């Protein structure tokens, strides 16, 4: 297992390199001069040209990329053109907020989506199943930002129960979390239901039943464990996506997360900030996927055995 | 029976009190501040900020919003009376101009203290003035300064490169920082501003809020509002809800629709005045000749444009000046909406059916403007291709001049006509989006800025305005509306054209 994890971490290097090349290329070939951004519109062209030269912006693309990566490997990702602060300062201010949102959302997704999915599968075509399927469809089709605004109108404005914006206390996270997790919970619910339906028709489930195992054991131990793999994949990639920031929800609830940082930096062409933020998000995403693969191993001994063999 | 009733009511009371307790803590500090004051008088204020600042270094402020914010933490040598447009003493008690207009001597107030207890000395003013001259961001305000020197501890002499008429109005941008503090803090000073102003900086939660507290020793008297919180809310719907729920008390950036709604809401007070930001359609004069420019001016229906882009909230104008400002005149070519005339002029110029591009920074407002222009030009047979780029990219690229038409928004100055005009219409101007390089106009602008007699200067700008309007370098469309929506009960609030709000005058 350890060897597998190590190998996967090694594999992240080409992935991150690839991301850095793509983002750096795109940013380099979009028009505009970073020196102008730093000095402001009132700076004279000579001053701008001087800084342009000092920053090495007139070097060929490959040289600039190599220099950037060289510095990055030494832990120097540069300073933001806008704020003149080290780029990771702002990332680390914002990441906890994004992390809190993503974690609470995923916990809610798991807590709501999986049990309801199992229930609908086990009691297929019951009223409960119908209710779950229909409401899942509804939840999946409601846009999160709209739901967010509606919740603000109801819970902040009409009832006055929850704060409408900001990130001060736990109460600030309730509405954004719900707005974020509902569509994902719906997806997980439907996924759990369909894989579960498939699983409980398998021979080994019949065997388990016929050997006299209690229905609960059959469903939870034999059924769920086998049905869970695709669900874990979905949850993992959604979690990774959430960690990359959620610009719409962040904007509706005035939460300073990673999403708004990336968008603002792109808009102002703050290259070091965009580079660092996208690489950071890519890194986190890879880590989450790795985590998902490790979880696979725990759920499915066959996968674990494969990991061991691969070593 | 009685016992049961009593115990039941006690239980209910207990639950209720627990619930209300929860409510208070969950809705944050502003709420507790509101109810916590004896007699119900509040002394805190939460202001909506539409976007976070990047730096609060008093000599590196990248835009007017940072500058306006910082005037609450820092003071300038002189200040501008918003009503009369006259220059008033602030850190300087009095000043004299040298005969030749090439230097000003300021006499500082004695005993003014920085927030850390240091006394304000002439050396701090010299230090700040030198930084003010060196920093590129401040060039639009400091371009005429040549040198600064301290004559004694309370006297400062500022030297000019050439006599500059509206010099004192530009000194309203020179914020005085503490030399020893700035040197000791280095780069960290940009995140920890410290001046002599009415409010002390407390903390800055990046992306969330900035907190200030009253400076009880402020030399013009302690402010009434003790705690000032600036909450960053970029979405205007969310900001309006925050006002309604009481999470915020004041917003200067409500959408036109929300502002109309707020007018009829007894919870709010509202005020509006014509703002200073003027919006233009800029013709690239290197590519479009006078007749074509004039034709394109006649093709634009400004009222319709204002409705489409601003929901009618802007103030349509023919000049980037408001009555009372230097150079204001009604005696100019105004280019009313006249598509027939536009077509005729285009025919005259042999430019019928031409295709132009419109280069702009991507934003809702600019895109709407582009679409409106597109359809208006289409009606006179001109095809307009939209060429949007990221806003940051636009700022970096307009200097290259690779466009036929672009747009500009300029924060005009209340008491200085030269700075914006020179910037927009002189060949060396830094916001010359129309790429004007007209020897006659260059000369007029150069002469006007060194004229120290106000009346003469006024005459000169009237002439300049006539010339600019006739040449149709750009088409002024409308001024922004400077609005404010605030919790009813907040006193002494008034919308200002330049939005340089001083919170020390507010009270509940």
Distances, alpha carbon B423 to alpha carbons A137, A294, B79, B104, B428, in Å: 57, 62, 23, 24, 7
Under a CB-based contact definition with an 8 Å cutoff, are residues B193 and B74 in contact? yes
pLDDT at B106: 94
Helices (H), B413-483: 418-425, 439-450, 454-471
Pairing of strands B268-283, B78-80: unpaired
Measured CA to CA, the distance from residue B72 to residue B89 in angstroms comes to: 16
In the three-class reduction of DSSP (H, G, I as helix; E, B as strand; rest coil), residue A272 is classed as helix
**From A82, A164, A269, residue closest to B238, measured CB to CB:** A164
Pairing of strands B44-49, B227-232: parallel
Measured CA to CA, the distance from residue B78 to residue B158 in angstroms comes to: 13
Determine whether the interchain pair A164/B140 forms a contact, defined as Cβ–Cβ distance below 8 Å. Answer: no
Determine whether the interchain pair B238/A165 forms a contact, defined as Cβ–Cβ distance below 8 Å. Answer: yes
Residues of chain A with pLDDT under 50: none
Global pTM reads 0.82
Nearest CA in chain B to A171: B26
> B67 vs chain A: nearest CA distance in angstroms?
15
pLDDT at B40: 66
pLDDT per position in chain B (508 positions), as tens? 445 555 545 444 444 444 433 333 333 334 433 444 445 688 899 999 988 888 899 998 888 889 999 999 999 999 988 888 889 999 999 999 998 889 999 999 998 999 999 999 999 999 999 999 988 888 888 889 999 999 999 999 999 999 888 899 899 999 999 999 999 988 888 889 999 999 999 999 888 899 999 999 999 999 999 999 999 988 888 889 899 888 899 999 888 888 988 999 999 999 999 888 899 999 999 999 999 999 999 999 999 999 999 888 889 999 999 888 888 988 888 888 999 999 999 998 888 889 999 999 888 889 999 999 999 999 999 999 999 988 777 877 788 888 999 998 888 888 889 989 998 999 888 888 999 999 999 999 999 988 888 889 999 999 999 999 999 999 999 998 889 999 998 988 899 888 889 999 899 8
Q: Name the B residues in 39-68 with CB < 8 Å from any A CB.
A: 51-52, 54-55, 62
Whether the CB of B206 is below 8 Å from some CB of chain A: the reply is yes
Measured CA to CA, the distance from residue B433 to residue B473 in angstroms comes to: 10
DSSP B90: S
Determine whether the interchain pair B392/A268 forms a contact, defined as Cβ–Cβ distance below 8 Å. Answer: yes
Pairing of strands B474-487, B315-316: antiparallel
Determine whether the interchain pair B393/A30 forms a contact, defined as Cβ–Cβ distance below 8 Å. Answer: yes
- Which element (helix H / strand E) includes B133? helix B122-134
> Is ipTM strictly over 0.90?
no
pLDDT at A232: 86
Long-range Cβ contact pairs of B263-266 (< 8 A, separation 24 or more): B266/B488
Q: Name the B residues in 24-43 with CB < 8 Å from any A CB.
A: 25-29
Contacts of B376 (CB under 8 A, 6+ apart): B299, B300, B301, B304, B305
Nearest Cα to B301, choosing from B347, B345, B250, B335? B335
Beta bridge partners of B92: B108
In the three-class reduction of DSSP (H, G, I as helix; E, B as strand; rest coil), residue B211 is classed as strand
Nearest Cα to B157, choosing from B195, B130, B120? B130
Under a CB-based contact definition with an 8 Å cutoff, are residues B415 and B458 in contact? no
**From A90, A253, A269, residue closest to B390, measured CB to CB:** A269
Determine whether the interchain pair A36/B395 forms a contact, defined as Cβ–Cβ distance below 8 Å. Answer: yes
Nearest Cα to B281, choosing from B289, B293, B290? B293
Pairing of strands B103-108, B78-80: unpaired
Determine whether the interchain pair A40/B54 forms a contact, defined as Cβ–Cβ distance below 8 Å. Answer: no
In the three-class reduction of DSSP (H, G, I as helix; E, B as strand; rest coil), residue A51 is classed as helix
Under a CB-based contact definition with an 8 Å cutoff, are residues A258 and A94 in contact? yes
Torsion, Cα of A99, A101, A104, A109 (10° steps)? -110
Nearest Cα to A236, choosing from A289, A304, A299? A289
Q: Name the A residues in 241-300 with CB < 8 Å from any B CB.
A: 251-254, 256, 260-261, 264, 266-270
pLDDT at B135: 86
Determine whether the interchain pair A93/B28 forms a contact, defined as Cβ–Cβ distance below 8 Å. Answer: no
Contacts of A92 (CB under 8 A, 6+ apart): none
pLDDT at A292: 86
pLDDT at B24: 36
CA A5 to chain centre: 20
Determine whether the interchain pair A168/B29 forms a contact, defined as Cβ–Cβ distance below 8 Å. Answer: yes
Determine whether the interchain pair B190/A84 forms a contact, defined as Cβ–Cβ distance below 8 Å. Answer: yes
Query: A249: which 2 tokens?
Result: 């929800």
Phi, psi of B202, rounded to the nearest 5 degrees = -110, -65
For residues B245-270, one letter each, b for 16 or more C-beta atoms within 10 angstroms of the residue's C-beta and e for the rest, the string is bebbbbbbbbbeebbebbeeeeebbb
Nearest CA in chain B to A93: B206
Measured CA to CA, the distance from residue A223 to residue A204 in angstroms comes to: 9
Under a CB-based contact definition with an 8 Å cutoff, are residues A119 and A113 in contact? no
Nearest CA in chain B to A90: B206
Q: Exposed, middle or buried, B437 (CB in 10 Å: 0-12/13-18/19+)? A: middle
Measured CA to CA, the distance from residue B211 to residue B81 in angstroms comes to: 27
Pairing of strands B92-97, B78-80: unpaired
Distances, alpha carbon A112 to alpha carbons A117, A209, B182, B390, in Å: 8, 27, 54, 41
Query: B151: which 2 tokens?
Result: 């004559």
Under a CB-based contact definition with an 8 Å cutoff, are residues B167 and B144 in contact? yes
Under a CB-based contact definition with an 8 Å cutoff, are residues B332 and B465 in contact? yes
Whether the CB of B242 is below 8 Å from some CB of chain A: the reply is yes
Nearest Cα to A37, choosing from B70, B51, B398, B66? B398
Under a CB-based contact definition with an 8 Å cutoff, are residues B436 and B472 in contact? no
Listed in order, strand segments (DSSP E) in B390-447 are: 405-411
Q: What does the longest C-alpha to C-alpha distance in chain A come to?
A: 86
Q: Looking up tokens 């999470």, which residue turns up?
A: B247
Measured CA to CA, the distance from residue B290 to residue B296 in angstroms comes to: 10
In the three-class reduction of DSSP (H, G, I as helix; E, B as strand; rest coil), residue A168 is classed as coil
Cβ-based contacts of A252 with chain B (< 8 Å): 235, 237-238
Query: A202: which 2 tokens?
Result: 């398998």
Measured CA to CA, the distance from residue A98 to residue B400 in angstroms comes to: 39
- For B161, other C-beta atoms within 10 Å of its C-beta total 12
Helices (H), chain A: 2-29, 34-39, 45-54, 61-73, 87-122, 127-141, 144-151, 171-199, 203-210, 215-217, 225-243, 247-252, 258-267, 271-299, 301-310
pLDDT at A310: 60
pLDDT at B454: 84
Nearest CA in chain B to A249: B235
* Percentage of chain A lying above the pLDDT 90 cut: 8
In the three-class reduction of DSSP (H, G, I as helix; E, B as strand; rest coil), residue B184 is classed as helix
Whether the CB of A31 is below 8 Å from some CB of chain B: the reply is yes
Interface test with A, best of B56, B136, B394 (most A CBs within 10 A): B136
DSSP B137: G
Measured CA to CA, the distance from residue A235 to residue A241 in angstroms comes to: 10
pLDDT at B21: 38
Cβ-based contacts of B55 with chain A (< 8 Å): 83-84
Measured CA to CA, the distance from residue A45 to residue B399 in angstroms comes to: 9
Interface test with A, best of B22, B26, B66, B173 (most A CBs within 10 A): B26
Summarize pLDDT for A229-279 with one digit per residue, the tens. Answer: 888 888 888 888 888 878 888 888 888 888 888 888 888 788 899 999 999
Determine whether the interchain pair A269/B397 forms a contact, defined as Cβ–Cβ distance below 8 Å. Answer: no
């Amino acid at each position: 297992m350890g060897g597998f994890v190590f190998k996967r971490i090694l594999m992240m290097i080409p992935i991150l390199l690839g991301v850095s090349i793509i983002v750096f290329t795109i940013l380099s070939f979009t028009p505009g001069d970073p020196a102008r951004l730093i000095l402001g519109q009132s700076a004279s062209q000579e001053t701008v040209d001087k800084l342009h030269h000092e920053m090495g912006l007139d070097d060929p693309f490959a040289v600039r990329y190599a220099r950037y990566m060289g510095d990055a490997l030494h832990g120097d990702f540069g300073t933001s053109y806008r704020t003149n602060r080290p780029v990771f300062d702002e990332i680390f201010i914002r990441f906890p907020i994004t992390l809190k949102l993503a974690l609470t959302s995923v916990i809610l997704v798991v807590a709501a989506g999986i049990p309801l999915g199992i229930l609908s599968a086990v009691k297929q075509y019951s009223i409960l199943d119908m209710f779950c399927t229909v409401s899942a469809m509804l939840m999946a089709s409601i846009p999160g930002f709209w739901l967010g605004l509606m919740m603000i109108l109801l819970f902040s404005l009409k009832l006055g129960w929850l704060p409408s914006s900001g990130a001060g206390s736990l109460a600030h996270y309730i509405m954004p979390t719900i707005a974020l997790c509902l569509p994902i919970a719906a997806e997980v619910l439907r996924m759990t239901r369909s894989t579960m339906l498939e699983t409980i028709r398998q021979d080994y489930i019949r065997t388990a039943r016929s050997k006299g195992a209690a229905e609960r054991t059959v469903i939870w131990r034999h059924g769920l464990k086998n049905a869970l793999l695709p669900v874990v994949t979905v949850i993992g990639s959604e979690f990774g996506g959430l960690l990359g920031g959620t610009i719409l929800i962040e904007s509706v609830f005035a939460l300073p997360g990673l999403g708004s940082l990336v968008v603002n930096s792109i808009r102002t062409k703050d290259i070091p900030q965009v580079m660092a933020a996208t690489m950071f998000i890519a890194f986190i995403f890879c880590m989450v996927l790795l985590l998902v693969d490790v979880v696979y191993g725990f759920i499915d001994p066959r996968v674990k055995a494969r990991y061991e063999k691969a070593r | 029976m009685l016992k049961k009733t009593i115990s039941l009511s006690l239980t209910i009371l207990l639950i209720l009190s627990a619930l209300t307790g929860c409510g208070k803590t969950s809705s944050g500090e502003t709420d507790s501040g509101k109810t916590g004051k004896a007699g119900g008088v509040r002394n805190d204020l939460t202001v909506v900020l539409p976007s976070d600042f990047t730096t609060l270094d008093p000599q590196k402020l990248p835009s007017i919003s940072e500058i306006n914010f910082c005037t609450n933490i820092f003071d300038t040598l002189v200040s501008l009376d918003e009503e009369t447009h006259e220059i008033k003493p602030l850190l300087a008690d009095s000043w004299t101009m040298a005969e030749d207009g090439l230097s000003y001597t300021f006499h500082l107030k004695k005993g003014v203290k920085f927030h850390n207890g240091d006394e304000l000395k002439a050396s701090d003013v010299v230090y700040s003035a030198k930084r003010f001259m060196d920093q590129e961001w401040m060039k639009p305000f400091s371009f005429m300064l040549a040198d600064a020197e301290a004559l004694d501890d309370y006297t400062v002499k500022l030297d000019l490169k050439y006599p500059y008429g509206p010099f004192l109005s530009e000194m309203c941008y020179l914020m005085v920082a503490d030399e020893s503090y700035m040197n000791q803090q280095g780069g960290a000073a940009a995140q920890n501003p410290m001046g002599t102003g009415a409010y002390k900086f407390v903390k800055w939660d990046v992306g969330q809020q900035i907190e200030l507290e009253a400076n009880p020793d402020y030399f013009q008297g302690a402010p009434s509002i003790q705690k000032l919180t600036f909450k960053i809310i970029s979405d205007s719907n969310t900001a309006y809800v925050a006002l309604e729920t009481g999470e915020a008390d004041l917003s200067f950036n409500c959408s036109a629709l929300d502002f109309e709604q707020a007018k009829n809401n007894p919870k709010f007070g509202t005020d509006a005045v014509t703002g200073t930001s003027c919006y233009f359609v800029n013709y690239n004069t290197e590519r479009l000749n006078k007749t074509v420019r004039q034709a394109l001016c006649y093709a634009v229906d400004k009222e319709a444009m204002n409705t489409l882009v601003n929901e009618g909230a802007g103030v349509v104008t023919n000049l980037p000046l408001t009555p009372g400002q230097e150079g204001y005149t009604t005696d100019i070519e105004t280019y009313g909406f006249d598509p027939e005339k536009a077509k005729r002029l285009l025919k005259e110029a042999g430019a019928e059916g031409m295709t132009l591009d419109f280069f702009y920074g991507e934003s809702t407002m600019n895109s709407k403007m582009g679409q409106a222009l597109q359809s208006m030009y289409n009606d006179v047979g001109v095809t307009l291709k939209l060429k949007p780029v990221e806003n940051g990219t636009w700022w970096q690229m307009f200097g290259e001049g690779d466009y036929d038409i672009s747009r500009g928004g300029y924060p005009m100055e209340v008491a200085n006509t030269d700075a914006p005009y020179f910037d927009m219409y002189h060949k060396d101007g830094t916001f010359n989006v129309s790429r004007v390089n007209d020897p006659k106009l260059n000369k007029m602008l150069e002469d006007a800025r060194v004229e120290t007699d106000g009346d003469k200067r006024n005459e000169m700008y009237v002439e300049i305005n006539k010339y600019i309007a006739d040449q149709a370098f750009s088409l002024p469309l409308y001024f922004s509306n400077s609005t404010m929506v605030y919790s009813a009960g907040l006193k002494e609030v008034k919308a200002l054209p330049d939005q340089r709000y001083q919170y020390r005058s507010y009270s509940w």
